[in-house]
A and B are shown apart, each in its own frame.
Chain A
C-alpha cells in the first residue's frame, strides 16, 4: 500500500513536470475548464431564475449536486480518463509491452501512470461549490455525515472508474476504440443530473437500465441525497456494494483482456 502511494506520488510529480514543459498548453486547458464551469453555473442560475424547484431539488441542494458532479468528473479526468483513452494507442503501437513488463500491478500502472493536472482544479472548485451550498442550505447539517459522504463520493468515483476500465479493456480486441469517449460522454450526461428527473413514466427504461444494471445514475445522486436529503439507508448500502462488485468485475475483465493482448510487431 505504502509503495503504491509512493508510486502515485511519483506519477503525479512527473506528470506535473511533463505538463509544465508546455506551460501555455497547460494554462489554456485550465482556462477551458473554467469556461465550462461558467457555462454550467449560468445554465443552473437560469433554470432556478424561473423555478424554485427542479425534480424535488431546491437551488442550494442542486448546487451541492452540481459541485459533487463537477468534483467527481474532475477526479476521474485527473487520474484515469487520459490513461484509459491512451490505452488503445498503447495496444495499437505495441507500447503496452513496456507497461506489462514493469514489476507492478498492470491495472494500477496503466490507469494511473499519468495525472492530468489541468483538470485537477475541477475537484477543488467542486468542493468549494459543495461547501458554499452547505452554508446556504437552510437545514441543520450533521458533521458525522461528512466522512460517510466522502466515502460514498469515492464509491461513485469507483463506479465511474469501473465503467471506464471495462470500456478500456475492450481496446485489446477493438484496437481503435473511439467509442470509449462516446460512452464516457453518455455516462457523464447521466451522472450530471439527479436521478429524479427520470421519474416520469416514459423514462422508466432509462431508470431501470442506468439505475440498476449499469447504475451510472447513482454515482452522484446517492452521495448527494445522503448529504442533503432524507434517503433510506438501503441506497447508500446498495451504492457501496455495487461499487465493490463493479470494481472487481471490471478488474477481472481487464486482466482477462490483457491475456488476449497480441502485441504489435517490432
Chain B
C-alpha cells in the first residue's frame, strides 16, 4: 500500500529583501523588494507502508518544507500529494489522527508540567480509548525505558530524555505514519542509539511508516533501507544507500594495522589518507584494491588489513557537489 505519493510537488516562497542599514530600512518602507525562491521543485516520490525512508539534504535544501506540505501545514504552489489517502492541506480530522510529526528542535509537551499530564491531554485531544491509552503508555515507556521520568516536569529533563517523551507523545494515538524532522539533533551517542533501537522496534512491531530527516549519517545507516536526497529543492537520488555508495564511492579505504609504528617505506609507496598510531588508511581506486593488497600484505610488520567504504557523509557530499555543478 502506498502511504505517500507526490506528483510534481512544488513550493515557492516570496522572500522580502531589505537592504542593510538605517537608510535601507527607510527605503524599504516605500519600495518593497521581493524575491521568489523555489524551496521545493517538482518532487515526485512514492513511499510504501512499513518503509523507513531517510530524507537527506544540506541546510535549506527543502526537506522541512516538504515534510510540512506532507503534513498539511503548508499549501503547495503547484503539484499534488496524497498521504494515507488524504490530501494533506485539506487537513481533515481523520488525517490528523493518522500521523505524527516530530521536530527535534521544537517541543509539543507542556513545559512546566510532567509528561504524564501532557499525555493525558493528548488522550483527550486524540480521543484515545482509555484502555488503549493505558496499554500504549505502558508499552512505550518500557521500550523507551522512561517510566521513572513520567512525573518529572518537562523543563527539568535532559534533551535526550525529553526527545524520548516527545516521541512517546507522538506515538500514543497509534499513527500509521511518523514524520521525523531531525529527531536526534543534539543527542549524545548513547541517546541516539536508544532512539534508533526504539524506532526500529516500533517499525517492526507496528508496521509504522517512517520518513526521517537527519544530518547524522548514523541515523540513516542504522535505520533506513532507502534514502531520498534533495538538493536545491529538487530530488537528486531515490534508492538504496548502498546504491549511492556504489555510484558515488569509486574508491575504497584500506585500513592497515602494523605491529609497531607505521614503517617509512609505506609512505614511499602510497599516499596515506589518514594516520593514527600504528594504523594507516589508504585511499585507492576500486580497481587498484587487489594490487595494493598484494603489496601491503607482503610487509612483515602488518598485523591486520581491512577494506572499508568511504564515510557516507563523503558520498553524500559528492552527490551534492555534482548536483550543484550540473545546475551551474
Q: Please give the residue numbers on chain A whose beta carbons come within 8 Å of chain B beta carbons, in ascending order.
A: 3, 6-7, 10-11, 14, 17-18, 21-22, 93-95, 97-98, 100-104, 109, 259, 261-263, 265-266
Question: Contacting B126 at CB < 8 Å: which of A95, A103, A262?
Answer: A103
What would 25 A/B residue contacts be, using CB atoms closer than 8 Å? A3-B127, A10-B121, A14-B110, A17-B117, A18-B110, A21-B112, A22-B112, A93-B106, A95-B106, A97-B73, A97-B103, A97-B106, A98-B108, A100-B73, A101-B71, A101-B73, A101-B101, A102-B96, A103-B93, A103-B127, A104-B125, A259-B75, A261-B73, A263-B73, A266-B64
Name the 5 nearest CB pairs between A and B, nearest first.
A103-B96, A266-B64, A98-B108, A103-B97, A103-B93
Known: A14-B121, A18-B113, A21-B153. 16 other contacts (CB 8 A): A10-B120, A17-B113, A18-B112, A22-B112, A95-B106, A97-B73, A101-B72, A103-B125, A103-B127, A104-B93, A109-B125, A263-B74, A265-B64, A266-B103, A266-B106, A266-B182
A260 nearest CB neighbor, chain B only: B75
CB distance from A262 to the nearest CB of B (A): 7
Q: Please give the residue numbers on chain B whose beta carbons come within 8 Å of chain A beta carbons, in ascending order.
A: 13, 64, 68, 71-75, 91, 93-94, 96-97, 100-101, 103-106, 108, 110, 112-113, 117, 120-121, 124-127, 153, 181-182
CB distance from A8 to the nearest CB of B (A): 10
Chain B neighbourhood of A94, CB < 8 A: 106
Contact A10–B124 (Cβ < 8 Å) = yes
Most chain B CB within 10 A, of A3, A10, A103, A263, is at: A103
* Cα of A95 to Cα of B117 in the assembled complex, Å: 19
Chain A neighbourhood of B71, CB < 8 A: 97, 101
Question: Contacting A14 at CB < 8 Å: which of B64, B93, B104, B117?
Answer: B117
Chain A neighbourhood of B74, CB < 8 A: 262-263
CB distance from A256 to the nearest CB of B (A): 12
Chain B neighbourhood of A3, CB < 8 A: 127
CB distance from A167 to the nearest CB of B (A): 22
CB distance from A219 to the nearest CB of B (A): 31
Contact A102–B112 (Cβ < 8 Å) = no
* Cα of A104 to Cα of B123 in the assembled complex, Å: 12
Chain A neighbourhood of B68, CB < 8 A: 97, 263
* Cα of A93 to Cα of B107 in the assembled complex, Å: 11
Chain A neighbourhood of B117, CB < 8 A: 14, 17
Contact B91–A266 (Cβ < 8 Å) = no
* Cα of A103 to Cα of B68 in the assembled complex, Å: 16
Contact B113–A21 (Cβ < 8 Å) = yes
Known contacts A10-B120, A18-B112; is-contact A100 B91 (Cβ 8 Å): yes
A21 nearest CB neighbor, chain B only: B112
* Cα of A6 to Cα of B182 in the assembled complex, Å: 34
Chain A neighbourhood of B108, CB < 8 A: 98
Known contacts A98-B106, A266-B64; is-contact A7 B73 (Cβ 8 Å): no
